[in-house]
Structure 1
């Protein structure tokens, strides 16, 4: 092992390999619900401040400071407050939240109780992707165990704090990973993004103050309560502290979840994962799922935190690292991703609905070998009309692989056009004879 890859004491994943790690019995044997007892003795505002001091940022992709989001909830407004956990996890390549809920559901449940206490919410909902049936059942079982142990329900541990938690099954729509579309879906409406402002902090679920957080974000909270903000900040980088679960998939020897401090590089993660599969060199990769601009083999040493990824021209996103070796055609991969976004566009806004449709038409034609050089300009022009002009971030995410793919691998797109030009020329010559 290279010296710069230090062995890490796991935090978020420390219980994952314990026998029956998903049960409350195992969880309590391994410091489970000790953070809750500590939190209930503190004032809710102290917990919000602790979260701010820790520097915890949202692990769902945007990286918004979690403590700040909690602090936006107006207090003493006479309205019910809600906590909603975004466990939809539909981003291609992302697979960290479902393993966490499968292996250690009580870390999420405990985080939910502490967070709800901090924001004065008496109802919390976990919105789980509908296809993850095994995960939904495991979360439901964990919630039932927590009720039976007195960690949920009325007067939790004699604190006077009441909380009910519901596990809600989505119906498999990618758009419901967008927080306001998720809220509409939770209310029984069609999942479509809402106009902002007003923001969920003041007008969220049932038009009441709501915090929407990702699974990994809330599962980090009990560790922060027990370890303190300085302990949490000792991991990762100054502006992006703490541990992170990186999902490695694709052409890698040992795909899976790798916990490492924020700011770890792909070179270090690849070393942990046994390198590229069959030794075929890396060609391109996504740092945070397919809606983040592509990176190439030149980006192996980019620090994978919010600032590092952005400075290199991409986004950290959900740290879903999809790795592709030199056998993969970039235009083909970009086409497959664009087909996904076209299928998952909710159709609410014209730029995304129409843009993704035409992008798919052009890319499919190019991959069939029927493209022309002007198609590349047309693709970029459509992308320019979608980026920043869509109702939500789905449109922005849909164009990221296309623009970055053309930026780094324009030759491959041109080669498809050259193939078409050559074959068209042959047909023309044959016609002349």
Structure 2
């Protein structure tokens, strides 16, 4: 063995001193191994991640500081040489996406190139569809909303590129019902909006009295609290009373509004997402002969009705078809039988929106960010007990602590005041500060930490948080949003909700902590969709890391009240 090692050293030494002669003596296999080792030394494995430089950001108008229309998008590089990308064909686009290592940004993290490739089967005559899941209902998550608000052309162009990759000629963007301004640019009269809420109908549109408008705003303003690009103008009188509510509510109006002194106020709209589609059609970027490539592609916007369950891809498809939004049994998968019984791929907004940048800059460029199997840039939402909540694009695998301190101003009261973090939206298990110290924000490292990246919606909780109550509130949300189709979810989440609120009071027994853990395990993995898992995981994270807090709450309760074994009727 020692002799062979010595011979190898001599061969390598001679290769360095007399490369031409020595390489003739070295076997091709050994030479290849040596060459590979040299390349690895030239490009050492990356060990630090973030911060992302400005020139590497894909979403350059995330905060709406620039023009979101086609003119502004062209200045920022959108639609640049899109025709060339389309003409390179399906295989080239798919290969670049696969090389990039892009994984789904909606939560599951499935390899995007592989998923899109499922659509490239021999055609049986049925049309193929791309469905963009913009039903962003996960509590704590608002990344897709920012794309649709401020960078809508990235999504429209992404639909075209992704559709070309899978041979689809139409895309449906399914937008959450509450995201009114993000989806619509239709100008309607105030009366029509009033009639929509009252269920009445009318063929006329007389002016609306100021007091009527105020009542409508009081009734509906809470549902549409996103900002709108509307300005209020008046001929002689000041702006409409409580017009701020109107700015937040109606979104797309153009109507005469009467007041007691008969002054007329006109609401003029600066529309949002549908306008981007209309602009793209008008410029020939989509539609017939999209971008002059000879490829026909249409984009449609569909609005949901606010059901969280419709974020699941098959429930979304059911809703898109006009049915109740309830998940389907799989198989068959959407790639075989999707929208209208045709092959369909359902993809997240962010996943689709980054496709053009990957094709322009190259899959290898995208893969240079983050760790292996966790590549690219990612939009992170940081909310909760931080000094400056924000949405930010960063490199995958950035340490959680650096992400919070660099972009969100740190934890309120300092890092030592941190209690725990929900790292990927409300359905991912909470992790305590001891784990947060060194965990990286990517799929694999968070799985190692017994949580998940999910949608990368970071919810920070400081030590003032009643963590039991926080998790109970999440379970209550999932109970409310369950479609009721699966018994483990329908009944199990209801029982978890009842038990969690008793844990909030402390009116329970220590043995029930094990009981709710077992209950969550009976729900997890036993339902058609992942909503049951999303309800079970927060409870599991609570029990795993904060069991002493639960036991302390129970102990305190029984000190104040006669000790008894809690009565629970189990079926």
TM-score strictly above 0.5: yes
Q: Does 1:8 align with 2:53?
A: yes
Question: Aligned to 1:83, what secondary structure does the other structure show?
Answer: strand
State the secondary structure of the residue aligned to 2:357.
helix
1:212, distance to aligned residue in structure 2 (A): 0.7
- Give 3-state SS (helix, strand or coil) of 1:401's partner: helix
Moved more, 185-194 or 37-46: 37-46
In structure 1, C-alpha distance between the alignment counterparts of 2:373 and 2:563, rounded to whole Å: 58
Partners of 1:66 and 1:426 in 2: how far apart?
55
Partner residue in 2 for 1:381: 518
**Candidates 37, 44, 48, aligned match of 2:94:** 48
Contact kept, 8 Å, 1:291 with 1:398, in 2: the verdict is: yes
1:340 paired residue among 457, 477, 492 = 477
Q: Deviations over 1:325-357 (max 9, x none)?
A: 001111111100000000000000000000111
Map of 2:430 onto structure 1: 294
Aligned residues between the structures: 425
Report the CA distance shift for 1:107/1:362 in structure 2 as closer, same or farther (over 3 A): same
Q: Distance in 1 between matches of 2:291 and 2:398?
A: 39
Written as runs of structure 1 = structure 2, the 5 A alignment for 1:268-287 is: 268-272=402-406, 273-279=408-414, 281-287=417-423
Partner of 1:159: 293
Q: Which residue of 2 aligns with 1:65?
A: 111
Change (3 A) 1:87 1:265: same
**CA drift at 1:29:** 1.2
- Structure 2's unaligned 5+ residue stretches are 1-47, 185-271, 565-571
Query: Which stretches in structure 1 are left out of the alignment for 5+ residues?
Result: 428-433
1-side partners of 2:493 and 2:62: how far apart? 39
| CA-based RMSD | 1.6
Asked whether 1:371 is paired with 2:497, we answer: no
Deviation sequence 1:218-257 (CA, Å, 0-9, x none)? 1110110110011111111111111001110000111011
Give the conservation status (yes or no) of the 8 Å contact 2:327–2:528.
yes
In 2, Cα distance between the equivalents of 1:41 and 1:7? 31
Matched residue, 1:118: 165
Aligned to 1:187: 321
Report whether the alignment pairs 1:218 with 2:352.
yes
For residues 372 and 169 of structure 2, the distance between their equivalents in structure 1, rounded to whole angstroms, comes to 34
Asked if the contact 2:131/2:174 (under 8 Å) is kept, the reply is: yes
Which structure has the larger Rg over C-alpha atoms?
Answer: 2
Closer, same or farther: CA 377–18 of 1 in aligned 2, 3 Å? closer
Structure 1 counterpart of 2:366, from 232, 243, 247: 232
Q: Which deviates more, 32-41 or 395-404? A: 32-41
Identify which of 380, 384, 388 aligns with 1:250.
384
Asked whether the 8 Å contact 1:372–1:420 carries over to 2, the reply is no
TM-score, structure 2 as length reference: 0.72
1 CA distance for matches of 2:117 and 2:71? 33
Give deviations 1:243-273, integer Å, cap 9, x for gaps.
Answer: 0011100001110112111101111112212
Deviation at 1:159, TM superposition (A): 1.9
Structure 1 residue 98 displacement after superposition: 0.2
